Every structure is written in C-alpha cells, then in structure tokens.
Amino acid sequence: LLADDSITIQKVVELILAEEGFEIKSVNSGQEALDAVESFQPDIILADVDMPNMNGYQLSERIKTNEATKNVPVVLLTGAFEPVDHELIQQVRADDFLIKPFESQDLISKLNATLTSSTVPAAEAETVAETEAVVAEDASEEEDLWSLEEIPETAEMEGWAEEVLDE
C-alpha cells in the first residue's frame, strides 16, 4: 500500500514494483491509507511523511497501535530536503525510511529487507543476529591475520610475488 499525495511518486513506485511482481494500491493521503488497510490487507505500507489530512508519521502510529495491523511494516518516505526525524520515526514505530528521490534498486532492496525482517520470528531473528556476529568476528580475525603477513620491501617484491604465485 502506497500513501503519497504525489501522482508522480505513485506512478514511479507502481512501475518499479509491478516489474517485481508486487500488487500495489496507491492512495493520496494517510486517511485513505488507513481506510484501505482493512480491505486491501497490505504486506507493507509506504507512507510519505508530508501528506494532507494525516501524514506518514501519524499513519504509522495508527497502524502500529492497532492490534489488527501492528505487525504490518511501515516504511516512511521523506523528501531529500526534509529533515529526517529519527526520534519521531522510532516513536511512531515505523520500520524504516527511504529518502526521495530514490533509485529503483534502493526501493526494492528496502522493501525486501523490511519484509524479510518483519516475517522472521523473534527467536529466529536472535539466531540470525548471533550468526551475523560470529561471521563479523571471523572476518575481523581474518583481517588480523592479514596484518601479521610480512610484506617485503619493494626491492624484494618481485621474488616474493613469484613465490606466492607458485604456491
């Protein structure tokens, strides 16, 4: 579900997401989005932070405080020249934000990441986080091993390079 009062943004997002197989419904305001949520039952909501009647922040807060819709992820859309209010984003429990204008791939990546993280059960999310921490630790250990590698002075470089390549 896309809530944005810009027809241009609506058309651009519809074109991008149609190519990815998303079914999208576009509305012009937060109130229209709220009215459409029950009948459309979106997997995710994109909401502009600057709309008439009910802005994206207000919409997110209403979605997240409603027992029936609290698990629907909300991604807020903000203009490049609008300040991003990170505190307010957390306060209204929006899942993420995206700055307009955006690249097609950025939108697709953000939606896929948000949808994936919102469908992972809490216990599984902890396991994923632990695994990522171990991978990061292993990577830093590997980097430490590289720092121990002796790299010869420039004069010895040709012979050293040949030895390494021969191995």
How does pLDDT run across 29-59, given as a tens digit for each residue?
999 999 999 899 999 999 999 998 899 999 9
pLDDT 10s digits, 79-133 = 888 888 899 999 999 999 999 989 999 999 999 999 988 765 444 444 444 544 4
Residue whose token pair is 């509305």 = 27
26-27 and 45-48: which strand pairing?
Answer: unpaired
- The Cα–Cα gap between 99 and 106 comes to 10
pLDDT 10s digits, 63-86 = 999 999 999 999 999 988 888 889
> The pTM is what?
0.69
pLDDT at 154: 46
The b/e string for 65-97 (b: 16+ C-beta within 10 A; e otherwise) is eeeebeebbbbbbbeeeeeeeeeebeebebbbb
Evaluate whether 58 touches 13 at the Cβ level (below 8 Å): no
